[in-house]
Structure 1
Amino acid sequence: MEHINFLSPYKDFVVGVDTKVPLADQTFTTAINFDNAATTPPFDCVMNDLVEFSPWYSSIHRGAGYKSQYSTKLYEESRKIISSFIGADMDYHSIIFLKNTTEAINKLSNKLLALHKDGVVLSTCMEHHSNDLPWRNKYTVDYIAVDKYGELSMEDLKNKLISYGKKVQLVTITGASNVTGYINPIHEIAELVHQHGAKLLVDGAQLVPHGPVNMKPVEHPQHIDYLVFSAHKMYAPFGTGVLIGPKDTFRESPPDYTGGGTVQFVSHDHIKWLDPPEREEAGTPNIMGVLALSSAIKKLLSIGMAQVESYERALTRHAYESLSNIPNVELYTNKSHLHRTISIIPFNIKGLHHSIVAAALSKEFGIAVRNGCFCAQPYLQRLLNVSAEDSEEYMKDPTLPMPGMVRLSFGIYNSIEEINILTKALFHISRNRDLYLQKYNIQEI
């Protein structure tokens, strides 16, 4: 394992790293956040940039005042920053700002109805609910299998593309799993999908913040057709998501949300919609959120996305080795595949429900993790070997303790020191399982 600093060289880049939180014994400790896959804290520069901009804040587009013109300029320049960041083509692509990845996928599922209503959408068995549920009530959906480790089966993808033939219009796949951290070979998949006349959507919510991502030129056989991601997972709060896709996709039908900001001309008899992307951004856009994302991207680029990936991967390897030596810990990521993961490690402690482990880490040690099914229940059910019969029981009785895992997810501000504190905490919890079973009731957590 490569040597990395005991303390993160990026610690001072984010807000709140020294925040004190209360413990069960009424003392306080410095919070440790290992829940970055859900939401990252903001970069300090992001907050500063927004404070500096705030005197100039104004409603964008169509305003004649200087502040409105200036705000519009920054808003539109943000599309160029994002385009450069992920290799989009501003002449070919629309870059649409929404609330988050979930809204972006829902919008795309609506927009593609004009083109592919009778087509087949291939999703996978490892998707977040946000890249599964929006497709179910509109299209014929099938799921690409995962293997015993939870990794995508390329063989099953090939077989399904052959089996469905020209009926497959879209393959929609996570760039990196929010459960196991596995990175999918998106460019290899894109080339295969294109050979069968379909297009590829990549859910980049977990991939884009953690390493270099490039959509590749439109004429390239490995080009990514659609990409979505969220600002709040890459150190930029205030609720912005990004949907990137061919402009023609958004010209084929009226916007799914209509109203102010979507039209060029309206009478009681006629509507002429604006060109994309404006027609897909109904109402007053979230300029603060968009500028936060632009600021965060600039900071990430100054660090270097390859460096972000390298640093976080070193943290992940250290954490994996440390957890491997703790009695009763079950790990759900394949050790030999750590070079193909983002900074996520799911685990359980035998004999303790995942909610008890998470509560103990928070209330006894000030360590924040996530537990449960991470909005990917079908995937968790496969990884945990939950039978169809057991699933029926969970459906019938919502009071049953749900199966799940504890998830660690790291950011660039996390450190070896914090992982070592976590390791000691988990040793204590593992060796004192009876104590924590008595102290924390599953139904009350």
Structure 2
Amino acid sequence: MTAVSAPTACATPLARVSGCDLQVPLVQGGSCTYANFDYAASAPALAAVTDRVQELLPFYASVHRGAGYASRVSTEAYEKARGSVERFVGADSDQVVVFTRNTTDSLNLLAGCVPGDTVVLDVEHHANLLPWNNCRVVEAADTVAETIRRLVAELCAKPAALLAVTGASNVTGEVLPIAELAELAHRCGARILVDGAQLAPHRRVNLAELGVDYLAFSGHKLYAPFGAGVLVGRRDWLDEAQPYLAGGGAVREVTLDETCWAPAPARHEAGSPNVLGVAALAAACDALAALDFDRVVDHERTLAARLADGLADIDGVHLLRLWSDAPDSVGIVTFTIDGFEPGQIAAFLSAEHGIGVRDGRFCAHPLLARIGHASGAVRASLGLGTGSDDVDRLIAAIRQLVDGEACWSYGKTEGLWNPLPETRGFTDQASGAAECV
């Protein structure tokens, strides 16, 4: 089906984000407004987030042990941020918020706390596939129903401490039935960890209602790209485990003979924390919590369907899916085109149309291999700053490529696809020497 006119609800973005008016050069000359379809990798900052960072920046100082006014302000901002995260994810009373660098950091932290085996699916992002000790991998089926049956069989066959699953696939956007998985895990004597990197920015998550024991997500995917992430979870494992980092702030008392470690969250937050990053993450949580998420979900689903339908109508374009019965999908549309390498497609979109997508294997090599695309694909991901005009630009650009109407030549240099010749400049912008416009 060819994409048709969108309803007013998706014509304009739902929120103002950084870079929304960014002008980028084109290889054929001139420039255009950048169309960002790479939200799943790193989302741009919400205006409320950049405003909060600018507000707090003059007060930036060491936290927890400073008597100065700026230190007190920074400490209060840092600790209040835990409350924002707790409210945003509906944390239960026995769950604690630990600040980290990103989702990968959170999952590696938890991996050192798990007192037993961890069960995962073979379709996980590397961050939720590689860190676990005593890891047992279950092969996903072509349906969610059969995949769940296989997980239950594995959990019942041999005791496991933890089931670690993605909330939404970073390759296809498909969402697993988390509440059902949590109930099954608990019935089998295991706890459940949800990698919420792709889920948290797009869907309401309530840990108490879902029955989820641990959740990890990143600020840079939650419209707060300032280097902070979070692990929310039950306190007992976190209190009993060895500190993630040994150092100042993680202790109650130190002598040359003995160390008394603090409980979580301080136990796993040694060193000077990323105060501004944490404040940015909290601001994003507060801003997203204030949105009408029914409207957010409707906006995203409408745009994703518009994009998927428009691409499917082009000869040679193939959309990637994991399951035939996934209950929901976030705004990710991943595809291949006959006769074109993923990197070639991405280079064309950027160079001639000012469109940013992601190409490759998305840190999910086993997943791409099992669905028959071991060499990679192209991922277009949507967010709060996406409008229907952006979607239509992407569809039109792909149609132009397939119709043989690219106006530039492309080739590989050092293994990467680039326009030949490259006429756009990057050095001034990357170094900060360019004048802001």
When the two structures are superposed, what TM-score results if normalisation uses the length of structure 1?
Answer: 0.88
Which SS does the other structure have where 2:98 is aligned? strand
Measure how far apart 1:74 and its partner are. 1.4
Measure how far apart 1:240 and its partner are. 0.6
Alignment-mate amino acid for residue 281 of structure 2: L
After superposition, residues 126-205 of structure 1 pair within 5 angstroms as 126-135=123-132, 138-139=133-134, 141-148=135-142, 153-164=147-158, 166=159, 168-205=160-197
Measure how far apart 1:335 and its partner are. 10
Q: In the alignment, is the contact (CA less than 8 A) between 1:6 and 1:417 conserved in 2?
A: no
Q: 1:152/1:227 Cα in 2 relative to 1: closer, same or farther (>3 Å)?
A: farther
Alignment-mate amino acid for residue 106 of structure 2: A
Out of 239, 249, 254, the position equivalent to 1:266 is 254
Gaps in structure 2 of 5+ consecutive residues: 418-437
The separation in 2 between residues aligned to 1:152 and 1:58, in whole angstroms, is: 52
Which SS does the other structure have where 2:379 is aligned? strand
Measure how far apart 1:260 and its partner are. 1.0
The separation in 2 between residues aligned to 1:444 and 1:49, in whole angstroms, is: 38
Out of 313, 325, 329, the position equivalent to 1:341 is 329
Q: 1:293/1:157 Cα in 2 relative to 1: closer, same or farther (>3 Å)?
A: same
Measure how far apart 1:121 and its partner are. 1.5
Measure how far apart 1:274 and its partner are. 1.3
Q: 1:226/1:338 Cα in 2 relative to 1: closer, same or farther (>3 Å)?
A: closer
Alignment-mate amino acid for residue 173 of structure 1: V
| Residue 47 (structure 1) aligns with | 50
Judging by fraction of residues, say which structure has more helix. 1
The separation in 2 between residues aligned to 1:298 and 1:55, in whole angstroms, is: 21
Alignment-mate amino acid for residue 28 of structure 2: D
| Residue 428 (structure 1) aligns with | 400
The separation in 2 between residues aligned to 1:373 and 1:18, in whole angstroms, is: 29
| Residue 280 (structure 1) aligns with | 268
When the two structures are superposed, what TM-score results if normalisation uses the length of structure 2?
Answer: 0.90
The separation in 1 between residues aligned to 2:323 and 2:163, in whole angstroms, is: 28
Which SS does the other structure have where 1:64 is aligned? coil
| Residue 390 (structure 1) aligns with | none
Between the aligned residues of both structures, percent identity stands at: 37
Q: 1:301/1:152 Cα in 2 relative to 1: closer, same or farther (>3 Å)?
A: farther
The separation in 2 between residues aligned to 1:335 and 1:364, in whole angstroms, is: 34
Which SS does the other structure have where 1:251 is aligned? helix
| Residue 30 (structure 1) aligns with | 33
Which SS does the other structure have where 1:210 is aligned? coil
| Residue 7 (structure 2) aligns with | 3
> What is the alpha-carbon root mean square deviation over aligned residues?
2.1
| Residue 430 (structure 2) aligns with | none
Gaps in structure 1 of 5+ consecutive residues: 387-402
After superposition, residues 208-247 of structure 1 pair within 5 angstroms as 208-216=200-208, 222-247=210-235
| Residue 304 (structure 1) aligns with | 292
The separation in 2 between residues aligned to 1:86 and 1:152, in whole angstroms, is: 29
Which SS does the other structure have where 2:339 is aligned? coil
Q: 1:271/1:334 Cα in 2 relative to 1: closer, same or farther (>3 Å)?
A: closer
Alignment-mate amino acid for residue 440 of structure 1: G
| Residue 73 (structure 1) aligns with | 76
Measure how far apart 1:143 and its partner are. 2.0
CA offsets, 1:366-404, max 9 Å, x none? 100001100000000011165xxxxxxxxxxxxxxxx00
**1:368 and 2:356 matched:** yes
The separation in 2 between residues aligned to 1:185 and 1:385, in whole angstroms, is: 25
Which SS does the other structure have where 1:407 is aligned? strand
**1:291 and 2:279 matched:** yes
Measure how far apart 1:88 and its partner are. 0.6
Q: 1:160/1:6 Cα in 2 relative to 1: closer, same or farther (>3 Å)?
A: closer
Alignment-mate amino acid for residue 157 of structure 2: S
Q: In the alignment, is the contact (CA less than 8 A) between 1:212 and 1:306 conserved in 2?
A: no
Which SS does the other structure have where 2:154 is aligned? helix
Measure how far apart 1:439 and its partner are. 2.8
The separation in 1 between residues aligned to 2:380 and 2:146, in whole angstroms, is: 21
Measure how far apart 1:150 and its partner are. 8.4
Which SS does the other structure have where 2:174 is aligned? coil
Equivalent pairs counted in the alignment come to 412
Measure how far apart 1:54 and its partner are. 1.6
CA offsets, 1:5-39, max 9 Å, x none? 4632425x211111111111132111100000000
Q: In the alignment, is the contact (CA less than 8 A) between 1:210 and 1:309 conserved in 2?
A: yes
The separation in 1 between residues aligned to 2:299 and 2:325, in whole angstroms, is: 17
Q: 1:185/1:55 Cα in 2 relative to 1: closer, same or farther (>3 Å)?
A: same
Measure how far apart 1:435 and its partner are. 7.6
